[in-house]
């Protein structure tokens, strides 16, 4: 990200940067959680070049992070008129998969992928990850794992699928499979968290050193004013430090800007650990209004709703 920022800096004062620079700036801004600024850049890029599929695709992705499903769907509609049937399906089913239509979304995206054996490995990887998530929301663990493994077999280096599959394994008490998969990924904070959770769960000696390493990294982030990984940091505080109040504060602050399913999950888990049903209300309201389907989330909601007022 730093290298990318340096490369596009010459255009920072330009009145009309090239469309590709606008899109790159939007990606950098979304990485830094400057979502409104990123959306503004994408809107300008789409205005300048209405046929640019990347602008519409990223607009939908960012709006999903903000839980603006109507806006994400509108961006998908724009994309559908410009992109391949597979890309259009990937966009629309990403929205459907979060808004209570995971069975329909899974079937549609599976059919679209089957028609495009020539799709790029990167796109296939993204689709297999989405299909795995949709299968999980239907409670189909074996099917989800098939998609995770199919994605990993493509040989594309991708931290997102590694994190998602590691979470799948951790949730099913299979930490011993996570450690060899992530042992060379210490440089990634997101994957180091999963590695450390797996080491702790399987009582491996490396957990202590990795906890110390993560403390140092989060301390350095705090000195920089960096709040990009509060979801992960909340999980670190809750499950590796046993700091329930600290985890809840981080989860609450994170949920004000990011409202993806994993952001809701850590807020629900931290609120449950703190026995604070009120703190969980934003995530519980999202569950009610979005139609999100996932047995794990339903169980958390049930436990929270059962807390004494």
203: tokens are 């009582």
CA distance 271 to 222: 23
Contact 49, 19 (CB under 8 A): yes
Predicted confidence at residue 1, as pLDDT, reads 85
Cα separation of 218 and 266, whole Å?
17
Dist. CA 209–CA 244, nearest whole Å: 21
Alpha-carbon distance of 148 to 263, in angstroms, equals 21
> In angstroms, what CA-CA distances link 107 with 3, 112, 113, 148, 150?
40, 9, 10, 17, 17
H or E segment to which residue 109 belongs: helix 102-114
pLDDT confidence of residue 309: 62
Give the dihedral of Cα atoms 288, 291, 297, 301; nearest 10 deg. Answer: 20
- CA 214 → CA 78, 217, 232, distances in Å? 42, 5, 11
Phi, psi of 123 (to 5 degrees): -70, -40
Name the DSSP class of 16: S
Phi/psi for 225 (5° steps) reads 75, 25
Distance CA 81, CA 50 (A): 11
Question: In residues, how long is the chain?
Answer: 309
User: What beta strand segments (E) does 59-167 contain?
Assistant: none
- pLDDT attached to residue 257: 92
Q: How far apart are CA 218 and CA 232, in angstroms?
A: 10
The CA distances from residue 252 to 64, 65, 233, 248, in Å, are 19, 16, 12, 6
Supply the pLDDT for residue 225. Answer: 79
Q: Determine the Cα–Cα distance for residues 62 and 72; give it in Å rounded to an integer.
A: 8
Tell me the CA distances in angstroms from 283 to 47, 242, 254, one per residue in order.
Answer: 34, 22, 12
What residue has token string 């994190």? 163
Q: Kindly give the confidence (pLDDT) of every residue in the chain, 309 residues in length, as a single tens digit, with 9 standing for 90 and above.
A: 889 999 999 998 888 899 999 999 999 999 999 999 999 999 999 999 999 999 999 999 999 999 999 999 999 999 999 999 999 999 999 999 999 999 999 999 999 999 999 999 999 999 999 999 999 999 999 999 999 999 999 999 999 999 999 999 999 999 999 999 999 999 999 999 999 999 999 999 999 999 999 999 999 988 887 878 899 999 999 999 999 999 999 999 999 999 999 999 999 999 999 999 999 999 999 999 999 999 999 999 999 998 866
Q: How far is CA 186 from CA 65, 125, 127, 234, in A?
A: 26, 22, 26, 19
């Amino acid at each position: 990200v730093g290298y990318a920022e340096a490369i596009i800096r010459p255009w920072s004062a330009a009145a009309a940067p090239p469309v590709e620079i606008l899109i790159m700036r939007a990606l950098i801004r979304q990485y830094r959680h400057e979502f409104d600024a990123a959306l503004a850049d994408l809107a300008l890029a789409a205005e300048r070049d209405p046929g640019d599929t990347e602008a519409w695709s990223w607009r939908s992705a960012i709006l999903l992070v903000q839980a603006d499903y109507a806006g994400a769907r509108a961006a998908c509609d724009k994309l559908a008129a410009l992109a391949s049937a597979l890309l259009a399906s990937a966009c629309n089913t990403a929205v459907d998969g979060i808004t209570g239509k995971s069975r329909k979304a899974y079937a549609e995206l599976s059919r679209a992928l089957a028609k495009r054996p020539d799709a790029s490995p990167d796109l296939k990887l993204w689709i297999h990850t989405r299909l795995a998530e949709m299968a999980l929301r239907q409670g189909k663990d074996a099917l989800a794992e098939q998609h995770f493994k199919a994605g990993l077999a493509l040989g594309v280096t991708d931290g997102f699928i590694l994190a998602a599959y590691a979470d799948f394994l951790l949730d099913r008490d299979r930490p011993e499979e996570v450690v060899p998969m992530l042992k060379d990924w210490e440089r990634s904070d997101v994957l180091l968290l999963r590695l450390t959770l797996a080491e702790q769960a399987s009582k491996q000696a490396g957990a202590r050193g990795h906890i110390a390493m993560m403390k140092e990294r989060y301390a350095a982030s705090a000195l920089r004013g960096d709040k990009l990984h509060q979801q992960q940091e909340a999980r670190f505080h809750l499950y590796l430090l046993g700091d329930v109040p600290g985890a809840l504060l981080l989860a609450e602050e994170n949920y004000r800007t990011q409202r993806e399913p994993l952001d809701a999950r850590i807020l629900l888990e931290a609120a449950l650990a703190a026995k604070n049903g009120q703190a969980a209300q934003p995530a519980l309201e999202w569950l009610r209004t979005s139609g999100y389907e996932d047995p794990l989330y339903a169980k958390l909601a049930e436990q929270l709703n059962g807390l004494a007022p």
